[in-house]
Amino acid sequence: MTDAQHIYRFVIDAWDPRELPMGRLAEYMADLSRLFGEGNHVHFDRLEPGSTVLVQHVDRQALATVEERLMLAAGRDPPDEIAKCYRVIDERLAEDGASGSLRGSNGAEILRFPGHERPRPPTFGPFRQNGCFDGMLIRVGGKDDTVPVHLQDGDVTHSCNATRDMARRLAPHLYNGTIRVTGSGRWKRDAEGHWILLRFDIKDFEVLDDRPLPELVEQLRGVPGSGWRRVKDPSAELRRLRDEAESRLP
């Protein structure tokens, strides 16, 4: 028989257990397993009626570890890994229009998940902001007057737009080194605080030198009166110069 002291109940206030999709139930169970942190020693027992109540028990040898993790999760500054587990559950509840709680065997609330009740930060925008992107030109094409332009920077692809004239100027650089495009972007911030680029219009570009930084710095130090021989941290100085240039964009 399961020891009642090792029982935890996760209560979802918006679902009837007969209506909860099996796939969603599995996601909540996986989330709870990661929160408890003892996957091999946490076992699903049953669903209880009323609101959806997921009942699970913890093996005696893992109970101290689980209790410590839940105490940290309820604290003001939990470790990043535990905070992420809590956040994933809370976001899932918000997506389902629900809130929830984790309760011990005596019914006392251990953790509260506000879910959809959590105040959302305000959205901002859309608004325009000057900026620039670096990358390899991997696409220039389209039939309209506004031409799609894609720049690849590592694993990130920047989707931009250009006039036909600008597209013709860009085309010779397709798959040929790194360029920097400057222009005006249209941004907004969603309710989760994520900044989303809606559109970026290219106004100009420059071809960047792909040679290694030490080689470029050595060349600059060879220019009489350049002052680069006195620069101790070339990388920091180049970042400073780039920031100044971006701040002067119209």
Q: pLDDT per residue over 188-237, tens digit each?
A: 887 667 788 889 999 999 998 777 777 777 877 888 877 877 888 877 87
- Mean pLDDT over 141-151 rounds to 88
Exposed (0-12), middle (13-18) or buried (19+): which is 42, by Cβ within 10 Å? buried
Residues 15 and 108 in one domain: yes
- Residue 149 belongs to domain with CATH number: 2.40.50.140
Which of the four pLDDT bands, split at 50, 70 and 90, describes residue 14?
A: confident
Q: pLDDT per residue over 126-136, tens digit each?
A: 888 898 999 99
User: What is the span of the domain harbouring residue 192?
Assistant: 120-210
Does the pLDDT at position 245 exceed 70?
A: no
Q: Considering all CA atoms of the chain, what is the largest pairwise distance in Å, rounded to the nearest integer?
A: 85
Residues 35 and 73 in one domain: yes
Among 86, 117, 148, identify where a domain stops: 117
Residue ranges of E strands in the chain = 7-12, 42-48, 52-58, 100-103, 109-113, 124-140, 146-153, 156-163, 178-189, 195-207
Order the strands of the 100-103 sheet from edge to edge: 42-48, 52-58, 7-12, 100-103, 109-113
Give the Cα separation of 104 and 91 in Å (integer).
22
Q: Give 119 or 165, the one with higher predicted confidence.
A: 165
Among 117, 151, 168, identify where a domain stops: 117
Residues 142 and 130 in one domain: yes
Residues 176 and 231 in one domain: no
- Mean pLDDT over 78-103 rounds to 92
Overall number of domains in the chain = 3
Residue 1's contacts (CB-CB under 8 Å, 6 or more residues apart) are none
Residues 220 and 234 in one domain: yes
Residues 41 and 68 in one domain: yes
Among 117, 144, 175, identify where a domain stops: 117
Could you tell me how far CA 139 lies from the centroid of its own chain?
Answer: 26
Count, in order, helices (H) and strands (E) of the chain.
6, 10
Q: pLDDT per residue over 29-73, tens digit each?
A: 999 999 998 778 888 888 887 778 889 989 888 889 999 999 999
Residues 110 and 26 in one domain: yes
Residues 143 and 86 in one domain: no
CB 67 within 8 A of CB 110: no
Would you state the pLDDT for residue 18? 77
Residues 102 and 80 in one domain: yes
What is the pTM (predicted TM-score) of this model? 0.52
Would you state the pLDDT for residue 102? 95
Which residues share a beta bridge with 206? 180
Residues 206 and 225 in one domain: no
Does the pLDDT at position 250 exceed 60?
A: no
DSSP state of 56: E
Could you tell me how far CA 131 lies from the centroid of its own chain?
Answer: 21
The alpha carbons of the chain give a radius of gyration, in whole angstroms, of: 27
- Residue 104 belongs to domain with CATH number: 3.30.70
Would you state the pLDDT for residue 148? 94
- Identity of the amino acid at 19: E
Q: pLDDT per residue over 163-190, tens digit each?
A: 999 999 999 999 998 999 999 999 888 7
Residues 225 and 184 in one domain: no
Residues 67 and 106 in one domain: yes
DSSP state of 51: T
